[in-house]
Structure 1
Amino acid sequence: MEGNESLNSAMRESGLTQVELTDKVNTHLICAGHEGTVSDRTVRNWLTGKTRWPHPRQREALEAVFGCTAEELGFSPPARRRRPSTPAEDAVRRRNFLTAASGTTASVVVPFVGAPHRAGTSDVIRLRSGLDALMALDDTRGGHEGLEQAALAGAAEALEKQKLGAAQRVRLRLFSVAADYTATAAWSALDARQPDRAYALLGKALYLAGMGQDPMAELRVWNSYAMLAHQRGEHVAAVDSAQAAQSTSITKRDHLFASLAHARTAIGHSNLGDRQAAIRSLGYAQEALGKADPDQPRPSWIAFYGPAELTAMTAIVRDRIGDSAEVEAASHKALGTIPKQFRRNRALATTRLALAQLHQRDIDQACSTASSVFELMKGSPIPGRMRSLLGDFYRDLITLAPDATVAQEWGDRYRAEWRRA
């Protein structure tokens, strides 16, 4: 039996594994109102040539995934085919997706009427969709208790689903989803400056990532461990955690993840005062980012990272090794490119810019820039990590210009916003 080399080549060019192709085809099927019935075995049959002409719905989904015809993917219709029948679809077997009104919890699937529910690919897709909604909320508002609780609820549901007699591949994906939800809860606690809770949740997330055999989730957890270690002033541990992120297998397959791990390592070195190591790691991060494919499918949590975020992280490194002028330039560049939907990240970069201006003794401009952070976050409480950074600004301000009128006015505004937050 001859294998399907055309499909195999298309998968290699797209960077898709058999599992990832299964998920993508099922996603298209479900979005079109059909059941996601494609399995790993289905894909193997396509690749080995056992299935030479997939079902029409599967062909349409494959064509959508790869952007070419089924024939171009190496499939060929049988010489004589019966005209396909078109029976009316059984409405009882349709899947109905309902989105929660708050936008902070996962959507719900209505199970088959009269049949015991068995976890499947559609459950994985639905839960990941809910995770995407939580990440969008984090991008706008930052970490807070509601986000953390919604993420923990998503993790609990994923773990319940994996007990329902699912196939092994589905169980692994459900563990992976639970790891991402738990890592999201941990991140929310970290952003809210709740280090003890964040630490406990990161331990659970790392365990679940291992159970799901998910190196992307593992890297995410180590990245958060590095940030948490910085919050605690444990800068050696921060470097160690960032280097653990570098060692995950996903960094060998996707340069974007490698870039993030090197950038996080650079911040760790800068906190230790190791200028040479920090600049070297920044160089590695920039080199890896230049090799990354921006169109490669990735989980929603990594959407924040790209050239703009690396520039913002460069500003942090430059600030900590004493290059204030370069900090200001990098911060301006980052703010010019960070997408508007990442409101929390824009506010953090703005605070970094204000600090750089302050350290150059441009007091009036620094206070004006720092005040704009309150406008950026208007309508939402300021998350703990940002409050801490604004506190750093205020302490430096009263140290450098304790008697300046503009500094006193900014202090009044800061205290008023602090009470409101």
Structure 2
Amino acid sequence: MTGRGVKRLAALRREAGYTQRSFVTAFGREAVRLRVHASISVRQLRRWECEDPPPLPHESQQTVLEALFGMPLAEMGFAVPPHRMSVSAPVSDAGEVKRRTFVADVGALAAAALAPAGPGPRFGSADVAHLRGRLDDLYRTDHKAGSMPALKQSRRLEEQITNALGNARYTDGVGRELQTMLAELHGHRAWYGYDGGCIEEGRAACAEALAAAQLVDSPLLQVSVLETLVLLAVRSGRTWEAASAVEQAHRLATRVGAGPTVHLLLSLRDANVATHAGDSSGARRALSRALRHLGKTDTDVDVPRWARFVGPFEVDYATADMYARAGQPRRAVPFLRSAVRGMGGDLARNSASYRVRLAQVLLTAGEVDEACAEMCAVLDGCGGISSPRLLAKMRAFQRAAAEVDGAATRACRERLRETVRGSRT
């Protein structure tokens, strides 16, 4: 082991953006993800980086290091004995090494085997973490600015993920993370199809997302796609398909022991299906189940990112929807008001959508002035949101308001015309 080799691990750590302390934390997280019993301390990391020769990591530590950096241990500057390392060339051309494939020892190193991808640059856990952060940003963009800006971001991200999968070199663990993110991304695209009114595109994205989630063996990810498929199926009038999708989602969620938040969301999808099918009794039963699950969400310690938005206001909104579709707008109004009040400020797109729904129901209930005031309040605050579904709701209110003559409705219709025209430019 030379002095130059000793510095290699420290250089790799700094290139990945870690301090010594943050690397120890990342090491622990990666060990948990790989289900490997391994840990390190800052003191041990300093020995690896500074001593010449450094102590050889244990096999379990080797597994985690190779997953984090996406390369064999020997290339990190350690002197690795032959039984801990094996490198081979492609058998199709023994005279020319087109790529290096790291053949891991069967057993502890299996989780860190290098996938036989292209001969491009290495892709490690730090790169995955960067892409994961951008994937998580899609939720924030969609909630605050709407599905159209999020769709643009998702297209760029999908290109990067597929490029990495097809051209980079990475461990099996990193490859699985990339495929999982691609499955999640297809799920996002399914939602954008729903929000954008592109139902067939949304259904196609659902099919891709379900296939990808099955390939990485992620039942919870399948559940997230199925709950979006419920919305798409309801929108296209396929209530039988929506019912089957939510039933399958319930089975998968139960099988993997999902928490009450996931079951709350699925109960609300149940209520949605029953409401659109005209089954008031079924909707009431589903809402009753939702309330039971809602009472347990305080103890839910592991809520998937895609289910974190759900809360009491969603139960109120579903209850209001049931009454409104049953021709009882006055009974729906207090639930919609409660839903609007209970929504967090970080859900701007949903908040605007709920308030437009409240304005629609108020108008139907004969509360014209209040309905117009509510709609104008939405128009005051939704300038930065790009959501075709929200715009469609505004147009629906505009058409309904045209049938009610009055100063308030005339002023509101004029503002809506300006908003609709602006959305086309």
- TM-score > 0.5, shorter chain as reference: yes
- How many angstroms apart in 2 are the aligned matches of 1:255 and 1:83? 40
AA at the equivalent of 2:157: G
Gaps of 5+ in 1: 1-25, 59-81, 90-108
- Contact 1:225–1:238, Cα closer than 8 Å, also in 2: yes
Q: 1:229 aligns with which of 227, 233, 253?
A: 233
AA at the equivalent of 1:220: S
Q: What's the CA shift string for 1:99-121, capped at 9, x where partnerless?
A: xxxxxxxxxx9999x99744443
Of all paired residues, the percent bearing the same amino acid is 22
AA at the equivalent of 1:32: S
Within 5 Å, which residues of 2 pair with 1:184-223?
184-223=188-227
- How many angstroms apart in 1 are the aligned matches of 2:212 and 2:320? 34
Q: 2:160 aligns with which of 157, 164, 181?
A: 157
- How many angstroms apart in 1 are the aligned matches of 2:45 and 2:239? 68
Q: Structure 1 residues 325-334 or 31-40, which shifts more? A: 31-40
- How many angstroms apart in 2 are the aligned matches of 1:171 and 1:185? 21
Structure 1 pair 30/208, CA: closer, same or farther in 2 (3 Å)? Answer: farther
Within 5 Å, which residues of 2 pair with 1:387-398?
387-398=391-402
Structure 1-normalised TM-score?
0.72
AA at the equivalent of 1:172: R
Within 5 Å, which residues of 2 pair with 1:100-179?
117-144=121-148, 146-163=149-166, 164-179=168-183
- How many angstroms apart in 2 are the aligned matches of 1:220 and 1:27? 32
AA at the equivalent of 1:271: H
- Contact 2:294–2:312, Cα closer than 8 Å, also in 1: yes
- How many angstroms apart in 2 are the aligned matches of 1:110 and 1:87? 15
Structure 1 pair 418/31, CA: closer, same or farther in 2 (3 Å)? Answer: farther
SS of residue in 2 equivalent to 1:247: helix
- How many angstroms apart in 2 are the aligned matches of 1:252 and 1:151? 30
- Contact 1:354–1:367, Cα closer than 8 Å, also in 2: yes
- Contact 1:223–1:245, Cα closer than 8 Å, also in 2: yes
Q: Per-residue deviation at 1:147?
A: 2.2
Q: 2:22 aligns with which of 26, 32, 35?
A: 32
Q: What's the CA shift string for 1:349-378, capped at 9, x where partnerless?
A: 101211221121111111111122211212
RMSD value, Cα: 3.4
Q: What's the CA shift string for 1:319-359, capped at 9, x where partnerless?
A: 22233233211122122221111100110110121122112
- Contact 2:323–2:331, Cα closer than 8 Å, also in 1: yes
Aligned counterpart, 1:267: 272
- Contact 1:119–1:162, Cα closer than 8 Å, also in 2: no
Q: Per-residue deviation at 1:385?
A: 0.8
- Contact 1:36–1:121, Cα closer than 8 Å, also in 2: no
Gaps of 5+ in 2: 1-15, 52-67, 77-119
- How many angstroms apart in 2 are the aligned matches of 1:86 and 1:134? 38
- How many angstroms apart in 2 are the aligned matches of 1:249 and 1:29? 39
Q: What's the CA shift string for 1:377-405, capped at 9, x where partnerless?
A: 12344x11112222332333334x2x333
SS of residue in 1 equivalent to 2:282: helix
Structure 1 pair 320/249, CA: closer, same or farther in 2 (3 Å)? Answer: same
Q: Per-residue deviation at 1:31?
A: 8.2
Structure 1 pair 37/120, CA: closer, same or farther in 2 (3 Å)? Answer: farther
- Contact 1:318–1:327, Cα closer than 8 Å, also in 2: yes
AA at the equivalent of 1:308: F
Within 5 Å, which residues of 2 pair with 1:72-111?
85=47, 87=49
- Contact 2:253–2:262, Cα closer than 8 Å, also in 1: no
AA at the equivalent of 2:277: L
- Contact 2:20–2:45, Cα closer than 8 Å, also in 1: no
Structure 1 pair 259/380, CA: closer, same or farther in 2 (3 Å)? Answer: closer
Structure 1 pair 298/172, CA: closer, same or farther in 2 (3 Å)? Answer: farther
The answer to whether structure 1 residue 326 and structure 2 residue 328 are counterparts is: no
Q: 2:378 aligns with which of 373, 389, 407?
A: 373
AA at the equivalent of 1:214: S
- How many angstroms apart in 1 are the aligned matches of 2:134 and 2:175? 18
SS of residue in 1 equivalent to 2:278: coil
Structure 1 pair 369/30, CA: closer, same or farther in 2 (3 Å)? Answer: farther
Q: What's the CA shift string for 1:230-276, capped at 9, x where partnerless?
A: 22233333333232322223673211111111101101111111000
- How many angstroms apart in 2 are the aligned matches of 1:30 and 1:155? 32
AA at the equivalent of 1:170: V
Q: 1:55 aligns with which of 25, 40, 60?
A: 40
Q: Structure 1 residues 356-365 or 322-331, which shifts more? A: 322-331
- How many angstroms apart in 1 are the aligned matches of 2:282 and 2:22? 51
Q: Per-residue deviation at 1:162?
A: 4.0
- How many angstroms apart in 2 are the aligned matches of 1:234 and 1:309? 23
- How many angstroms apart in 2 are the aligned matches of 1:229 and 1:370? 29
Structure 1 pair 358/314, CA: closer, same or farther in 2 (3 Å)? Answer: same
The number of residue pairs the alignment matches comes to 343
- How many angstroms apart in 2 are the aligned matches of 1:415 and 1:331? 25
- How many angstroms apart in 1 are the aligned matches of 2:368 and 2:385? 27
AA at the equivalent of 1:205: A
Q: 1:282 aligns with which of 281, 287, 301?
A: 287
Structure 1 pair 263/117, CA: closer, same or farther in 2 (3 Å)? Answer: same
The answer to whether structure 1 residue 350 and structure 2 residue 355 are counterparts is: yes
- How many angstroms apart in 1 are the aligned matches of 2:18 and 2:318? 36
AA at the equivalent of 1:240: S
Structure 1 pair 37/162, CA: closer, same or farther in 2 (3 Å)? Answer: farther
Structure 1 pair 409/294, CA: closer, same or farther in 2 (3 Å)? Answer: farther
The answer to whether structure 1 residue 405 and structure 2 residue 410 are counterparts is: no
AA at the equivalent of 2:414: D
- How many angstroms apart in 2 are the aligned matches of 1:272 and 1:84? 64
- Contact 2:123–2:164, Cα closer than 8 Å, also in 1: yes
Q: Per-residue deviation at 1:408?
A: 2.7
